[in-house]
Amino acid sequence: MKAMVHVYTGCGKGKTTAALGLALRAVGADKRVFIAQFVKGMQYSELKSISEIENIDLKQYGHNYFIKGKSSEKDKKAARQGLKEVEELLKNSKYDLIILDEANIAVHYDFFSIDNLISILDKRQKNIEVVITGRYAAEELIEYADLVTEMKEIKHYYKKGIKARKGIEK
């Protein structure tokens, strides 16, 4: 079975949630999953659940979520280190599914280039399924991917001043 590259992008809610749902499905089929969270370093609720599931490993390559603020050199360094680590994981067959959560944001903020990202995807073992999430997917990645889903916001309670809620958005 040929492994595919998925991209979940767009300004709507649900990109990471969809990727995590696929991770659960993969584990249910006795597959091993690695989740690399770029630009994230906060304690999201899914971290607790994932830590209790065999066959899913997760590592964050970020500090505080800076999207409303300003990124730091530490954020860039963490993302670049994460990409190097992911490159090594993609070259071996320890994992069946690798999720690059918010990698599109890392590219958008120039933490690493789209050329670097596509280059490591080209070198991956062909049996490793890859999911890349985040707003602002580069056109080159959209062309490269086998599946692209755009989450489109129609309506969101956030615009009414409702903050991210534990267990739902964080």
- Residue range 5-160 forms a domain whose CATH class is alpha beta
pLDDT single digits (tens) 89-111: 999 989 999 999 999 999 999 99
Which is more confidently placed, 91 or 164?
Answer: 91
From CA 9, how far away is CA 27, in angstroms rounded?
23
Note whether 99 and 68 are within 8 A (CB): no
Helices (H), 5-160: 15-28, 45-51, 73-91, 103-108, 114-122, 139-144
Residue 33's φ and ψ, nearest 5 degrees, are -130, 140
pLDDT band at 162 (very low <50, low <70, confident <90, very high): confident
The fraction of the chain above a pLDDT of 90, given in percent, is: 72
Which of 17, 19, 20 lies closest to 7, judged by CA? 19
Model confidence at 75: pLDDT above 90: no
For residue 81, which amino acid is it?
Q
Model confidence at 73: pLDDT above 70: yes
Which of 45, 53, 137 lies closest to 97, judged by CA? 53
The whole-number pLDDT of residue 156 equals: 83
* Domain spans, the chain: 5-160
**Which string of DSSP letters, residue by residue, matches 121-166?**
HHTS-TT-EEEEE-SS--HHHHHH-SEEEE---S--GGGGTPPP-T
Note whether 31 and 55 are within 8 A (CB): yes
By CB atoms closer than 10 A (0-12, 13-18, 19+), residue 68 is exposed
pLDDT, average across residues 108-127:
96
pLDDT single digits (tens) 19-40: 999 999 999 999 999 999 998 7
For the question of whether the overall pTM of this predicted structure is more than 0.75, the answer is: yes
Which of 140, 117, 115 lies closest to 130, judged by CA? 117
Model confidence at 66: pLDDT above 60: no
